[in-house]
Amino acid sequence: MRCPFCDSHDTQVLDTRTNPEVNAVRRRRKCGACAKRFTTFEKVELRMPRLIKKDGTRSDFDREKLSSSMMVALRKRHVATERVDLAIDRIEEKLRSSGEREIATAHIGELVMHELALLDQVAFIRFASVYRSFDTPEDFRVAAQAVDAPLSLRKPRRTRTR
């Protein structure tokens, strides 16, 4: 720990106190170079990492987006919503406990594929086949909707008469 006053690395801990209520450690320190005192805090970081897309842009993790992209893959499959929620919980937990500040969306895609493989093979294949060529779950959702939705458009055109 460097001294905030003179930037020296020569600091020592005078006193350590733990606060179990907030799972934090407070340390009183003294700089050996300038003799000034300061306090540091140590806390467990369980923040959700931010997402890095392929193009380098960052965005916040969005459970709703993740959920909706998985639901698209699971459409018309017999998988209880509760099991999907638990799968998303596991993905979130893995991301939080990674300790990373930022994480590639591709990595989240892999986590989703892993969970879908456990839930439903068809959903897994749907997701994997489309996701691998896209950047984010959001891209997948849009693409999957575009593929699924216009079934009615594929009906023979009435205008064409011969």
Stretch of 4-12, 57-65, 95-103, 124-132 contacting Zn ion, by CB under 5 A = 4-12
The answer to whether 8 contacts Zn ion (rule: CB under 5 A) is: yes
The answer to whether 25 contacts Zn ion (rule: CB under 5 A) is: no
Query: Applying CB under 5 A, what is the total number of residues that bind Zn ion?
Result: 7
The answer to whether 39 contacts Zn ion (rule: CB under 5 A) is: no
Complete DSSP assignment for 41-84: EEE---PPPEEE-TTS-EE---HHHHHHHHHHHTTTS---HHHH
Q: Which residues pair with 25 in a beta bridge?
A: 18, 42
64 φ, ψ (degrees, to nearest 5)? -60, -40
Q: What share of the chain is helix, strand, coil (3-state, %, to 5)?
A: 45, 20, 35
Place of tokens 């499959």: 77
- Candidate residues 31, 84, 108, 116; the one interacting with Zn ion per rule CB under 5 A: 31
The answer to whether 14 contacts Zn ion (rule: CB under 5 A) is: no
- Candidate residues 1, 2, 6, 42; the one interacting with Zn ion per rule CB under 5 A: 6
Angle at 73 between CA 68 and CA 75, to 5 degrees: 85
Q: At what angle do helices 121-131 and 105-119 cross, to 10 degrees?
A: 160
The answer to whether 147 contacts Zn ion (rule: CB under 5 A) is: no
Is residue 50 a contact partner of residue 60, using CB atoms and an 8 Å limit? yes
Q: How far is the CB of 15 from Zn ion (least distance, A)?
A: 17
Q: Cβ closer to Zn ion: 8 or 57?
A: 8
- Candidate residues 14, 24, 33, 44; the one interacting with Zn ion per rule CB under 5 A: 33
Q: Cβ closer to Zn ion: 8 or 23?
A: 8
The answer to whether 34 contacts Zn ion (rule: CB under 5 A) is: yes
Binding site for Zn ion (CB under 5 A): 3, 5-6, 8, 31, 33-34
